[in-house]
Amino acid sequence: MIKKDGFKKVRLEKLFVSSPNTANSLLTMYGEEVTECISKNKNYQFFFSQTKTFDLIELEQLLQAVGWSRRPLRRVRKALDNSLLKVGLWQHDTRFPRLVGFARCTGDGIIDATVWDVAIHPVYQKLGLGKNLMSYILFNLKKMGISKVTLFADPGVVSFYKSQGWILEPKGNKCAFWYAN
Ligand SMILES: CC(C)(COP(=O)(O)OP(=O)(O)OC[C@H]1O[C@@H](n2cnc3c(N)ncnc32)[C@H](O)[C@@H]1OP(=O)(O)O)[C@@H](O)C(=O)NCCC(=O)NCCS
């Protein structure tokens, strides 16, 4: 189920030798864990970051671009602070990197995690980024030792997850929801 392809840790040591400026700028922009995300469009470079600070307005714009409703920014900030893992996918630009993908996970950090808010900007869909984002998330959760990951798929994306090995709750009789309103 977990595929490790589709992304690669940037070899900073090597990059430092060949181009210290590039290595430094990647580190400064995306943090120590900077990881390249491979896509079908070779004209762009994409990087995952778990530490680059989100501009909340840019993040909400991304989530609205995929059709989700607006949420109060203060609550979004708290949700991010309380998340186990939050991943931004950036289209690289030395001056203005653009947030084109996002996902976050909640959980106990030991046994269980749940993935939320998986989104790739419509302009960048169908390039393999969504699949690689999921692969990157599962790789990092596995690194934490987490053995069970759940998510709630919108009906239109069930086959997206199924094709990556996610198993559907077969009879719909184990899952329960409670909504405050
Ligand atoms: C779902 C989403 C994340 C997929 O991202 P993406 O970058 O377009 O996906 P990829 O290019 O990595 O696609 C990987 C594979 O899944 C397929 N796929 C992509 N979107 C799909 C969908 N909605 N339904 C079924 N299959 C899909 C692709 O055709 C591709 O197949 P292939 O490997 O045989 O070529 C993106 O469409 C999105 O953000 N949608 C809106 C938000 C959303 O619904 N998020 C999920 C909430 S549960």
Selection from 49, 32, 44 nearest residue 136 by Cα = 49
> Which residue among 116, 131, 138 has the greatest number of ligand 1 atoms within 8 angstroms of its CB, and so is best to mutate?
131
Q: Is the pLDDT of residue 24 over 80?
A: yes
DSSP state of 5: T
Q: Is the pLDDT of residue 79 over 90?
A: yes
Distance (Å) from CA 34 to ligand 1 centroid: 23
CA dist 126 → 7, 32, 40, 46, 131 (Å): 16, 28, 8, 14, 9
> Which residue among 37, 61, 126 has the greatest number of ligand 1 atoms within 8 angstroms of its CB, and so is best to mutate?
126
Distance (Å) from CA 95 to ligand 1 centroid: 29
Per-residue pLDDT, averaged over 59-77, amounts to 97
Q: Which domains occur in the chain, in start order?
A: 7-153 (3.40.630.30)
- State how far the Cα of 104 lies from the Cα of 110, in Å rounded to an integer: 16
Per-residue pLDDT tens digits for 47-60? 999 999 999 999 99
CA dist 2 → 132, 147, 161 (Å): 11, 11, 12
Neighbours of 48 (CB within 10 A): 27
- State how far the Cα of 47 lies from the Cα of 86, in Å rounded to an integer: 14
Question: How open is the CA angle 29-32-33, to the nearest 5 degrees?
Answer: 105
Q: Is the pLDDT of residue 44 over 60?
A: yes
**Does the Cβ of 163 fall within 6 Å of ligand 1?**
yes
Q: Whose CA is nearest to atom 10 of ligand 1?
A: 128
The encoded tokens of residue 35 equal 């990881």
- State how far the Cα of 86 lies from the Cα of 103, in Å rounded to an integer: 6
Q: Are 47 and 15 in contact (CB under 8 A)?
A: no
Distance (Å) from CA 126 to ligand 1 centroid: 6
- State how far the Cα of 153 lies from the Cα of 141, in Å rounded to an integer: 19
SS3 98: strand
Per-residue pLDDT tens digits for 95-140? 999 999 999 999 999 999 999 999 999 999 999 999 999 999 999 9
